[in-house]
Structure 1
Amino acid sequence: MNSIQNTLLLISHCRGIRAAKLRKLYAFDRSFSLLQSLKPSEYQSLGLVTPSYYSAFSKDFTSLKIPDIQTSLEKQETRFLTILDPLYPDLLKELPDPPLFLFCKGDLGLFQHRRSLGVAGARQSTQYGREALERVLIPLIKQGFVIVSGLAEGIDTAAHAVSIVNGGKTIAVLGGGFQHIYPSSNRGLANEISNHHLLISEYAPHIRPQKWHFPERNRLISGLSSGTLIAEAKQRSGSLITAQLAMEQGKDVFAIPGRILDRNSDGTNELIKDGAKLVMTAEDILEEFYGIGLRASGNYEE
């Protein structure tokens, strides 16, 4: 790795760094020339470090050894990509706040796949939601779509599983480091994805997931996708944040309708009222993307 990558690798493992501030710095210093010359105290003066964490940041910045971090990542079969790396996903570069670095396990070639669909939904999903999701996703998977989701309980888990079982490919975006898979019940699924698909996070492996990480993760789910499908969602749910982020990114938003008496359908039905594409079959999504459905191509399966 070059000096810029080494600096970002070190920073990624330091406590107290303000990632959002770091991204703003990148907005006017694309070469990271300033970042490479900063002393710990200057990180504080520029607001790049949370004041209460400055002592911890300074200790990490001066004591952590880059070769040790690299060796640890290699043992964990984890790749470290920066935004300057040619393997970094082009779709994320289009975001107003792209992650400056990513930790990855698995097939990096999935970043360059032309067809991708983000999926979000209720953690306490219903049988209806899971069955409706399968009905929509299976034909898309057979058409070569990569399914991108967040490895959460419920709809996220179902989306990854449907893709794997049906011979497709999937990307899981985490809200914490690889050493802290959340929920813990999905460790087996995460292992399967890291071995045969792609597992990514913008957090170093040792970092535990925090509440505020998940909205940040959601922007990557929508950012890596051509469009985002919401399968089930209550009002004011994280899934609606994903939908809003997709809209802000100029991406298509799709929603599966539900029963008006079911709280899990309040959010999706509201999205449809507000202009999201109502989805009952895979064809509804393909028509929006390409102007032609599976029936027209002769490949549609009920």
Structure 2
Amino acid sequence: MYGDIEMPFNPVEPIVYFDQVALLIGLPLTKAAFLEDIAAKSGGARRGDYAMGALRRLPDRSAAEVWEVAASTHAKLTQDLVDMARELNLPEKQVRHEATLQDLTEVTESGARLILILAHWRDFELFDDDLTDAARKNLVAYRAAPAPAARDPGLHAVLHSRDFERSHNAIRSMGTWLNEDYLECAPIHERADRRFFLEEIAGENVFPGYALELRDGMHFAEECAKSIASDWAGILDLAVCNSAELAEVLKAEQDCRQVITNERLKHPARAIRELQWLLVQLKVGPQNYRDLRLRAHIIFSKDTLEAAPCYP
């Protein structure tokens, strides 16, 4: 364990060659894509949480303004990363700048041994924009049931609160229950079970938690694991916040795989600069990736982020 990065011991061959690398980008790279994602999530689609998250952090700004003052910087850095990979002559089929779940399948089938994934992981939280009117109707119907479900009576209690009649307060009350009363104080496996129970009751009209956002939408960890070729062996490096649960599922007790992940939030700019540095080092020659990854973590730690060069 190295700060916010987890690299458990694994018997996977650590030496990686540059032409064995694949780069998958799941973030919006243009203003049009960013605005489309926000519109999609606002319309109830199961994508757009990364963009909507930026909007949540700046609630007094329009979506276009949020792009200009916040998201565009990260998009520019990400595009620079894609351009660098191409300039270094990483095979085009291994640079997926609008990555989908099918892309993950294809790169694991094509011989890539190191897969770098820059994307957004949605944790257990519940936000105002996560419940549609249809979801609330399903929850009201559940509240009218004669008895609460034995597996989670707390949900029934929340639905009977006085605040539930007002949609905003209902969502806030539900979020408080999920984040404070049940999830933050519960073991990880119980958090997931309770989040999935809510989704089961509310139906597909609640935005999913515990899912990876790629350009084709949200994907649960199990979906991601199934998309990897069954005989694939190599290293998955997740430039994804809070991705320990995802890593555990992707590893799936297979000794032929190692998954490098982050236990906490990770700033996108730092993640991108690390990936740039890693690509340059791998281009120089074959590297022990576990050692190289640890060096990147040390160089780009919070105290040295601004001073550390991208091209040492």
Q: Which has the higher helix share?
A: 2
TM-score (norm 1): 0.25
Point out which structure has higher relative CO (alpha carbons under 8 A, 6+ apart).
2
TM-score (norm 2): 0.24
